[in-house]
Amino acid sequence: MLKRGRSESRFFPQGVWIPLRQDATIDKLIRPSALPQKVCLPLQERANTIPLKPLVRPGSSVKRGQQVAAPSEKESLPLFSPVWGEVVAVEKSVVPWSAEPVETIVIMPRKDELLLPITMAKTEFSPDELRSLLYRMGVVNLDLELIGKSAPLTLIVNGCELEPYLTSTQRLLEEKPKELLLGIEFLVQAVEAERAILVISTENKGILEDLGDLIFAKKQISLEVFPPRYPLDHPVLIRKILGVPEENSLIIDLPLAVYSHEAVVLRQPFMEKVVTITGPAIRNPQNIRVRIGTMLEELVAQCDGFTVEPGMIIMGGPLRGQVINSLEVPITRYSRGFVFLPERNPFLETSCILCGSCIDSCPMGLYPVFICEAVKSRNWKALDDLGAENCIFCGTCSYICPAHIPHQKYLKRARERLVK
């Protein structure tokens, strides 16, 4: 339910106060994962992207940190083996983010690991060199991000974590503040930004004090604390609240700033990341630093398995994530966490009671109930009038609806129709 009357509601009146349910992992230190038994690296890591080209074949021996796939277009990033081992297959596999099977490199790790030597000869970089390094290390393609941007540029580092259950970003914030700030400085230099704003949503006073002390010494970086009101972590809303135009700003998620630090200082390619494995069906929820390509079933085993058989597995958070049906899913650069719930969604859709809650809570000022009705009645002309193209798919309307109407389903159909 909406909690009206909190002082922060003047800050941004739409959105919703959501029970974040982060208690199970919010105070748990990030733990390293065990060496995976198998590594699966899909050559398409996200929906609607161009697959990478494999640089290895079955029988190839690979070292930890060795590049194993190259982008055919600049929109993708090079991919690295997170283990020393042998490629046993390059084969099609089913992944939840693609309707078609995706070509995947399968590597069997050896027991001992051989780390590639780290060359630390160069410590000073020009902006071009930094952007090139971050691209070659598979962290971020800043040249792509800078298309359509102009000076003066503000780098916004998004450290809000408002999806229920997930805590990997908050743990990085708490455990790696110095690395985070150095990573932000590298990114500021790389994109030649005038300033950086770190946006967080934590209510932890200890973190705020520590960060405040660290940031005090950094002239270019300032801190903004948003109330934990969903979906204020969406880039469109962050820019709106900060009053920074899109063409003068670049938004980077907080973990990428930490991984940028590792890439520049340790020359470590992006081959490990922190994910949250949690939910009431998990016996021992954890934030785990995991090798990319590790299978989800191995991470569940490292969390001591299930307390009850999960009825629903969500890749990402419950509001923006995707329901999946299998533990045979590899961790990718874009994984943030997995939530295991005991029951399938017990809420059945009923009729709209015209309460108006979806309209009150929509952060984009839309009329979700009317967009749904327009889709149901195939009144495509009305979609334009209702501004359906401005939906950011935050899921707030579905969350708040007492009739459990799946707005997202209709909003996606509206978007498809508008694209046509």
**Contact residues for ligand SF4 (CB under 6 A)?**
352-358, 362-364, 366, 368-369, 391-397, 400-403, 405, 407, 411
CB of 293 to ligand SF4, least distance (A): 32
CB of 239 to ligand SF4, least distance (A): 15
**226: number of CA atoms within 13 Å, CB side?**
29
Return the number of the residue (181 or 394) whose C-beta is nearest ligand SF4: 394
Return the number of the residue (25 or 396) whose C-beta is nearest ligand SF4: 396
CB of 369 to ligand SF4, least distance (A): 4
CB of 98 to ligand SF4, least distance (A): 23
CB of 240 to ligand SF4, least distance (A): 12
* Exposed / middle / buried, residue 227 (Cβ in 10 Å: 0-12, 13-18, 19+): middle
Return the number of the residue (311 or 356) whose C-beta is nearest ligand SF4: 356
Report the alpha-carbon distance of residue 322 to residue 46 in Å, rounded: 12
Report the alpha-carbon distance of residue 245 to residue 251 in Å, rounded: 11
* Exposed / middle / buried, residue 340 (Cβ in 10 Å: 0-12, 13-18, 19+): buried
Q: What are the beta bridge partners of residue 16? A: 230
For residue 157, give the amino acid letter.
V
Return the number of the residue (261 or 407) whose C-beta is nearest ligand SF4: 407
Return the number of the residue (40 or 358) whose C-beta is nearest ligand SF4: 358
Return the number of the residue (328 or 373) whose C-beta is nearest ligand SF4: 373
CB of 366 to ligand SF4, least distance (A): 4
Spell out the alpha helix ranges (H) of 125-202. Answer: 127-136, 142-145, 168-175, 177-191
CB of 277 to ligand SF4, least distance (A): 27
Report the alpha-carbon distance of residue 71 to residue 89 in Å, rounded: 19
Report the alpha-carbon distance of residue 278 to residue 85 in Å, rounded: 30
Return the number of the residue (335 or 396) whose C-beta is nearest ligand SF4: 396
Contact assessment for residue 374 and residue 407, using Cβ atoms and an 8 Å cutoff: no
Contact assessment for residue 56 and residue 68, using Cβ atoms and an 8 Å cutoff: yes
Return the number of the residue (94 or 364) whose C-beta is nearest ligand SF4: 364
For residue 69, give the amino acid letter.
A
Residues 6+ apart with CB under 8 A from 48: none
Q: What are the beta bridge partners of residue 323? A: 314
CB of 14 to ligand SF4, least distance (A): 8
CB of 16 to ligand SF4, least distance (A): 9
Return the number of the residue (222 or 379) whose C-beta is nearest ligand SF4: 379
CB of 389 to ligand SF4, least distance (A): 10
CB of 413 to ligand SF4, least distance (A): 13
Q: DSSP class of residue 53?
A: E
For residue 15, give the amino acid letter.
G
Q: How far apart are the first and last CA of the chain?
A: 36
Structure tokens at 191: 């994109």
Return the number of the residue (106 or 369) whose C-beta is nearest ligand SF4: 369
Report the alpha-carbon distance of residue 57 to residue 60 in Å, rounded: 6
Contact assessment for residue 36 and residue 109, using Cβ atoms and an 8 Å cutoff: yes
Q: Which residue has the tokens 């295991």?
A: 340
Contact assessment for residue 19 and residue 164, using Cβ atoms and an 8 Å cutoff: yes
Return the number of the residue (56 or 374) whose C-beta is nearest ligand SF4: 374
| Parallel, antiparallel or unpaired: strands 67-70 and 53-54 | antiparallel
